[in-house]
A and B are shown apart, each in its own frame.
Chain A
Amino acid sequence: MNNIKFSKYLNLSHFRIVSFYCALVFVVIALFGLFSKNLALGLDFTGGYLTEFSTKNAVSQKEMTELLTSYLPENFKVTSADEGTHWSVQQADNLSSLKGKEWLADFALQSELTIIPQDAIYIGSQVGEELINQGGLALLTAIIVILMYLSFRFEWRLAAGAVIALFHDVLIVLGLFAWFGITFDLTILASLLAIIGYSLNDSIIVGDKIREIMKTNSDAKIDNIINKAIKSTLVRTMITSGTTLATIIAIWIFAGESLAGFSIALFTGVLVGTFSSIAISATVPQLLGLTADYYDKKEEDICQLP
């Protein structure tokens, strides 16, 4: 009996260490993709061309979108006003996008609509330069504050584990978008936010368990403590990830094109987040030299339930 248990722990340790190095490889691949291929940034970030026209008769949004999809080579965003008679089409600024308003005449022929061209003008991005700088600064602040809070509540090595796992998750998702050339827009940026929340949540729950076992069981080997913590939180991890993934898959299948990128980002994020909470956030503290008797040396108050 004891033997079986021992080998189980051994396997889990192996699995963790191997996965940790796999994760490192994935991060390198993701980084390579990010630097060599760059993110396919959407209209929100790059700006592009705005073409405005009006139609003689009211056209429904759906019809117009279908007509434009069959005509325009690139992704576009269409807005209607004045009860379906005034339209503005935004296209990203790249080689294949149709600039100016000359294409409208051709489009009118093909779609059999009476089109009165109006403005064709260059538009800037929704995300200003100062916002990108500010955003970088804010992320840095957020990471430092999280590190501080977790170091105060747990221990700096556990905190580092959680933050490294966080980096891993975000980088993998970004890498995926770079490798597959999926358009990265503000909605995807927002989904990264959810991934950050999810990743932290997972890491902290494992970390919390490690702390708890360390306190009651300070003479065991740290390797075994971490394995035990992972095993006792495994059911919870599976249920939470499972239900969340099921929801995301439902969104992916039913919500259609407008949320496809969003679901891809979240799906990968949650999957990778679950993996990294075991492979990274639990393993890093061990590699950084966390010892089982840490809490013996340092008496600390537990958070009390109000």
Chain B
Amino acid sequence: MMNSPIKQPYNYFKWQNLLILSSLLFLLVSALPNLYIDKVKFQLFPINPITQKITTIELKNLFDQHNISIDEILTTPVIVSITLDNKTDKNSVKQLLSSVYKDNYRIENSIINHMPSFLNSLNAKPIKLGLDLSGGVLFVLEVETKQALFDRLKNIALEIKTIAMEKRIRGVTVIQNNGNKQIDETNQNLIVKYPNSAIGKIDYLFNQIEESYPELAQRKDNSNQTILSFSSKKTAQFRQETMKQTLKTMRGRIEELGITEAVTLQQGKNHIRIELPGVNDPEEARRIIGATATLDFYQLAENSKAAGILRMADDNGRKLNLNSKVVFSGSNIKNARAGQDQMNMPLVNLTLDAIGGNKMSKFSKQNIGNTMVTVFSEFYRNTQDKMVKKSRIINVATIQQHLGSQFSITNMSSQQAAQELSLLLRAGSLTAPVTIVKQRTIEATLGINNINNGIKALSVGIGITLLFMVFWYRSLGVIANVALTLNLVSLLGLMSLLPGAVLTLPGIAGLVLTVGMAVDTNVLIFERIKEELKRGHKVQQAIEQGYKSAFSTILDANITTMITGIILFTIGNGPVKGFALILCLGILTSMFTGVFVSKILTNIVIRKNKTQLLGVNA
């Protein structure tokens, strides 16, 4: 196509053009649902059939007095229905109606949408709006840092027992006070008791423990007893670390839910505040956020001399004795994907990080032919409001070969179970159990005034740009404006398609800015065409040449910006991520409409025998 002479008549029905047209159409249809906004409808049912009827004029006057704009009022003998212009007026209307008509009418409200059925059947959805524009759901989570500390001490106790057994120090007992009691976290400790016969060797044990856990204070109570505890400073430090890790995990989970503009922050000592925008199904969000699943891999106890035996039954009721020391845990999992094996059975493919990979490699090499057990644990609150850990064996497998950092868990009950498990494992496991203590629907942080002002600003901005383009480039300017409008609509369409894209007020400003910058594509092309015309090319040749040589410039500029956008999208969170997404999508659509669509438009509009363009005679 590059050097083909442009003599033959322009063929409008080339496959490229059809492709461009169909993708444009597809994006336009995707953008359509944004035209139909949800409206609030109130319905008044007379309690008593003989109640005097409310007239339309009466209602209209009432609302006018309170400056509430109404979309529609319908009165029939059995029902009065009122549709509001603004969703935000809902509360004041509710108050107003109940103060006037509460005695004689039953008042109900619902949300309606007049979206045509063909859009509904396409499952098309409008863009999700951010917390500032439409509110969302608030969750407050309580993190059981005490439980995490208890678990940590439990592991240390286990290690003490193991060392004592390995070094044949007999008679050592470790007592851990019950973490589930209402006990202050600073009072958690381990009491190690040993008989006189062990005193000679016990120093070795404590040296070992001190080496592995330097943060643990050792206090000798009497000649037969030592108390191990964390100082209050260390406890606070441990709590902070747990909170930090939990926050990170929560951010990961929200990201896995496909929500970009969420707010996640620590609240007080051990709470986490999560605000999620545009959540249609709070229950799903609740399940994923509140889930405290961890995965641990154990070996069977018969194969090992280590202390501590965990007795568990698998799904078939078979009793298994597990070595309570885990081979590795969920925190070593780098990636998890749900998939299917050759028999179409659901499974989860796991990739371990370097530490986990080494552990697995070493373990599986020494244990070929032995059994490995996968245990899935969840925390939940029982009826006495106590945190309880429930563990379940989900997989018992024989190690067939030397495994590396990649392997899979088979025997999943369903595809959905596999997907959910992989999501939880991907998003990171929690060291401390969490519970949702508060759930609330929150309203938009920006009032309707702010939103209207924002939209006004954007219309003015775009208006100036469009007017200028027509003034400066005349007929080509009109083409540029059509391309710009299509760009904006395509961008809206693309954002409606992506479940993760959320629109906020800064996002809208970003959107307009992308459009402002999309002008650049057209300006570059037109200036090129002008240059070619000045060099003495014929109009059509100049157009062809102009589009061609401007394209490489546009490509370079956009790819570089795209690189920045993609990198910031992958690491950023909150507004940065949302903005990066709009930026990247904007680049794609501006290239698409600014180069390809406007090329077609130019070919259609500019006649072949035209002798003058952009004020230059050809």
Contact A187 B506 (CB under 8 A): yes
What chain B residues lie within 8 Å of A204 (beta carbons)? 553, 556-557, 560
A229 to B415, CA, bound (A): 60
**Of B291-299, B450-458, B602-610, which stretch is located at the interface?**
B450-458
What chain A residues lie within 8 Å of B523 (beta carbons)? 236, 239-240
A49 to B392, CA, bound (A): 41
- Please judge, given known A-B contacts A83-B91, A189-B575, whether A243 and B440 are in contact too, CB under 8 Å: no
What chain A residues lie within 8 Å of B520 (beta carbons)? 201, 236, 240
Contact B138 A81 (CB under 8 A): yes
**Of A2-10, A93-101, A192-200, which stretch is located at the interface?**
A192-200
Cβ of A130 within 8 Å of any chain B Cβ, yes or no, is yes
Distance between A222 CB and nearest chain B CB, rounded to angstroms: 20
Number of interface residues of A (CB under 8 A): 87
Distance between A260 CB and nearest chain B CB, rounded to angstroms: 11
**Of A16-24, A54-62, A109-117, A284-292, which stretch is located at the interface?**
A54-62
A137 to B570, CA, bound (A): 12
Chain B, range 458-512, C-beta contacts under 8 Å to A? 458, 460-462, 464-465, 468-469, 472, 505-506, 509-510, 512
What 0/1 readout, one digit per residue, does chain A (172-201) give for beta carbons within 8 Å of chain B? 000000000000001101110110111011
Cβ of A13 within 8 Å of any chain B Cβ, yes or no, is no
Which of B132, B447, B553, B564 is in CB contact (< 8 Å) with A142?
A: B564
Cβ of A36 within 8 Å of any chain B Cβ, yes or no, is no
Smallest CB gap from B247: residue in A: A128
**Of B153-161, B168-176, B258-266, which stretch is located at the interface?**
B258-266
Smallest CB gap from B587: residue in A: A197
- Please judge, given known A-B contacts A84-B91, A124-B266, A247-B465, whether A303 and B552 are in contact too, CB under 8 Å: yes
Which of A208, A240, A246, A249 is in CB contact (< 8 Å) with B517?
A: A240
Contact B547 A149 (CB under 8 A): no
What chain A residues lie within 8 Å of B457 (beta carbons)? 250-255, 259
Number of interface residues of B (CB under 8 A): 89
Contact B578 A247 (CB under 8 A): no
What 0/1 readout, one digit per residue, does chain A (224-247) give for beta carbons within 8 Å of chain B? 000000001101100110111011
Contact B559 A60 (CB under 8 A): no
Which of B267, B469, B509, B516 is in CB contact (< 8 Å) with A262?
A: B509
Cβ of A44 within 8 Å of any chain B Cβ, yes or no, is yes
Cβ of B219 within 8 Å of any chain A Cβ, yes or no, is no
What chain B residues lie within 8 Å of A11 (beta carbons)? none
Cβ of A38 within 8 Å of any chain B Cβ, yes or no, is no
4 pairs of A and B residues whose beta carbons are closest in the complex: A124-B266, A247-B461, A254-B457, A190-B579
Chain A interface (Cβ < 8 Å from any Cβ of B):
44, 47, 50, 58, 60-62, 65, 77-84, 86, 121-131, 134-135, 137-139, 141-142, 145-146, 149-150, 153-154, 162, 186-187, 189-191, 193-194, 196-198, 200-201, 204-205, 208-209, 232-233, 235-236, 239-240, 242-244, 246-256, 258-259, 262-263, 266, 302-305
Chain B interface (Cβ < 8 Å from any Cβ of A):
2, 88, 90-92, 94-95, 132, 138, 244, 247-248, 251, 263-268, 271, 273, 275, 440-447, 449-450, 453-454, 456-458, 460-462, 464-465, 468-469, 472, 505-506, 509-510, 512-513, 515-517, 519-520, 523-524, 527, 531, 547-549, 551-553, 555-561, 563-565, 567-568, 570-576, 578-580, 583
Task: List 7 interface pairs A-B (beta carbons < 8 Å), by A numbering.
Answer: A61-B447, A191-B579, A194-B583, A240-B517, A243-B468, A247-B461, A256-B453
